Amino acid sequence: MPTRVIVYIRVSTEKQADHGVSLDAQRAKAEAYAALYDLVIVEVIVDAGESAKTLDRPGLQRALAMLKAKEAEALLVVKLDRLTRSVVNLGELIEEYFGEGGASLLSVSEQIDTRSAAGRLVLNILTSVSSWERETIGERTSVAMQHKAAQGEYTGGQAPWGFRLAADGEHVEPVPEEQAAIEFARQLRAQGATLRGVARELESRGIRSRTGRPFAPVQIKRMVSRSEADQVQSA
Catalytic residue numbers, as ranges: 12
The 3-state secondary structure of 102-171 reads CCEEEECCCCEECCCHHHHHHHHHHHHHHHHHHHHHHHHHHHHHHHHHHCCECCCCCCCCCEEECCCCCE
* Residue burial 164-183, b: 16+ Cβ < 10 Å; e: rest: eeeeeeeebeeeeebeebbe
- Spatial contact of 16 and 49, defined as CB atoms under 8 Å apart: yes
